[in-house]
Structure 1
Amino acid sequence: MSVQHQEFRGRVARLQSKHASFSQGATARVQSDGLIVIEPRKIRSSISGKVFVLIIVSFLLFKAFLMAALGFDSYDERVARLAEGSAVEQLGAVIMQSDPVSVWAAQQIGPILR
């Protein structure tokens, strides 16, 4: 392949990637010298850090509530039965295992439930 053809393919690849980035929309801004610059719109995640932390805390509180309501022995027995199931159930058992934060929260919630 000739050098000119390689350069042409490089320019085409840059134009295709630029076009793909503009497919999500664009914003225009005026620089201090009056030049109008059009840039691709930045994609923002719909889940912020605060929402992610809230989901994790809610899940841990849910586990703590289950531990307090069922009792620690019964909860561990149910998780052990879950670990004997299919791959999805085994994944659920790993997620639902007792952790120090949930155990502490269950100990705090337990007297309130009884």
Structure 2
Amino acid sequence: MEPERAQFAKRLRRLARKHDAMSRGYETRIRPDGLLIVRPRRRSSGISLKSVIIFLAAFILFKGLVLAEVGQGTYENRLVAMQSGTWVEQAGAVVMQIDPATRYVAGFLAPFLR
């Protein structure tokens, strides 16, 4: 009797998993022989490409704004100070390096800030 009970419990767990997956959405397809196949939709990752692009654009805008506000000399001095700090500060210095996009944004924003 015990093997049947274990097999039944396994079937119940599998059905519960399938029900949970179907509750988040499903797709119905018709096979060539006319049989309807219902499958749960795949989960999408939590982060979309659009949100990553918006984040990167905002970050470059932030770097350009800081560069335009404090000036290139002061900005580079602060980067040098960060490079001699802890590993977190060193990582921040790498991320905050002046790149062509940051330089372009700073050049565009500088007339508005002075």
**TM-score normalised by length of structure 1:** 0.72
Match of residue 81 from structure 1 = 81
* Equivalenced residues, count: 96
Residue 98 of structure 2: SS of its match in structure 1?
coil
Structure 1 residues 13-37: Cα deviation after superposition (integer angstroms, max 9, x where no partner): xxxxx99x85861335251554232
Match of residue 45 from structure 1 = 45
Deviation at 1:38, TM superposition (A): 3.4
* C-alpha spacing 1:23/1:64, structure 2 compared with 1 (3 Å): farther
Question: Where do 5+ consecutive residues of structure 1 fail to align?
Answer: 1-17
Output the CA distance in 1 between the equivalents of 2:104 and 2:96.
15
Task: Give aligned-pair identity as a percent.
Answer: 33
- Aligned-partner residue type, residue 108 of structure 1: F
Residue 47 of structure 2: SS of its match in structure 1?
coil
Deviation at 1:86, TM superposition (A): 0.8
Output the CA distance in 2 between the equivalents of 1:90 and 1:98.
14
Match of residue 72 from structure 1 = 72
* C-alpha spacing 1:89/1:24, structure 2 compared with 1 (3 Å): farther
* C-alpha spacing 1:28/1:72, structure 2 compared with 1 (3 Å): closer
**TM-score normalised by length of structure 2:** 0.72
Output the CA distance in 2 between the equivalents of 1:112 and 1:81.
28
Question: Where do 5+ consecutive residues of structure 2 fail to align?
Answer: 1-13
Residues 1:31 and 2:48 are matched in the alignment: no
* C-alpha spacing 1:54/1:24, structure 2 compared with 1 (3 Å): farther
Output the CA distance in 1 between the equivalents of 2:91 and 2:19.
38
